Each structure stands twice: as structure tokens, then as C-alpha cells.
Structure 1
Amino acid sequence: MSLALAGIGETRVIVDFTGKDEIKRHLQDMGFVKGESVKLLSENESGLILLVKGVRVAINKGLASKIMVA
């Protein structure tokens, strides 16, 4: 399932990425790596606020849809 479909307050584990290599690299540079837990803190029209490795990160829903979680 895509991270963009997760509910507020849910903690999920990253299992894969979709998209071009440059997008995958960009996400990994921001701390999104396979096996890492991600918690969805809040959501609005423009994107998501996530907690990754103890750091709050804001990404748009397009990027979130490229992150596959379990």
C-alpha cells in the first residue's frame, strides 16, 4: 500500500519505492529507507507531515504515493 493512503496516527514500515531512480535517491536522502518506520502525524490538501528517524518531514502526496509501506 502507498504511504499516501495511511491514516493519521498510523506507524508503517517502508518496504519499497516506485518511480525513477532520481526520486528514489531523493527520498533516501531525506531518510526514507527500506525497513524504516514512518508515522503519519497530519495531513492537509498539499501534503503529509511524517515522523521519520525522530525528525518531522513534510512531503507532498505525489512523493508519498511513491513510498510503499506495510
Structure 2
Amino acid sequence: MMPLTMTKAGETVTIRRISGKDEVRLHLAELGFVVGSEVTVVNEIAGNLIVQVKQSRLALDKTMASRIMVD
């Protein structure tokens, strides 16, 4: 497992664990970041990510992205 921040642009990975406080995990779940779902990194700029989850593209700062563990 590795944090989402280690993923390169164009890679598709599967979410394995989300760390952080309950409200952070709930917020990410509402955006579509749930264990078992696939995420594609569209672009990376200074550690911040643009990702595609389901049919949506979202921007995540590096702090939030580092809480999402993928493989």
C-alpha cells in the first residue's frame, strides 16, 4: 500500500484504506472515495492531484490525498 500522492498521472489504483478523523473520512466518502473503488490520477501539480472517481473529476490537496491509501 502507498498513499495516493505517490501515484503517477494516468495510473488507475484501488482505494484500500482511508485514514483521518471521522468527519474527514465521511467527507471523502461523500465525494466517492470509498474502500474498494477505483481512482484514476488525471494530473499532479506540486503534490496536489486531479483525480477521476466514478464519473467525476475532483481536485485534492496533498494533505487530503496522503490520507488515501491505495494499491
Give the TM-score normalised by structure 2. 0.93
**2-side partners of 1:59 and 1:8: how far apart?**
14
Give the CA deviation at 1:51: 0.5
Task: Provide, for residues 17-52 of structure 1, a one-character-per-residue CA deviation record: whole Å limited to 9, x for no partner.
Answer: 111111101100111011100000001126110000
Aligned length: 70
> Structure 1 runs of 4+ off > 4 angstroms?
none
Question: 2:27 matched to 1:23?
Answer: no
Residue number in structure 1 paired with 2:44: 43
Which runs of no fewer than 5 residues in structure 1 stay unpaired?
none
AA at the equivalent of 1:4: T
How many percent of aligned residue pairs carry the same amino acid?
43
Question: 2:10 matched to 1:9?
Answer: yes
**2-side partners of 1:46 and 1:33: how far apart?**
21
Which runs of no fewer than 5 residues in structure 2 stay unpaired?
none
Is the contact made by 2:33 and 2:53 (CA closer than 8 Å) also made in structure 1? yes
AA at the equivalent of 1:58: A
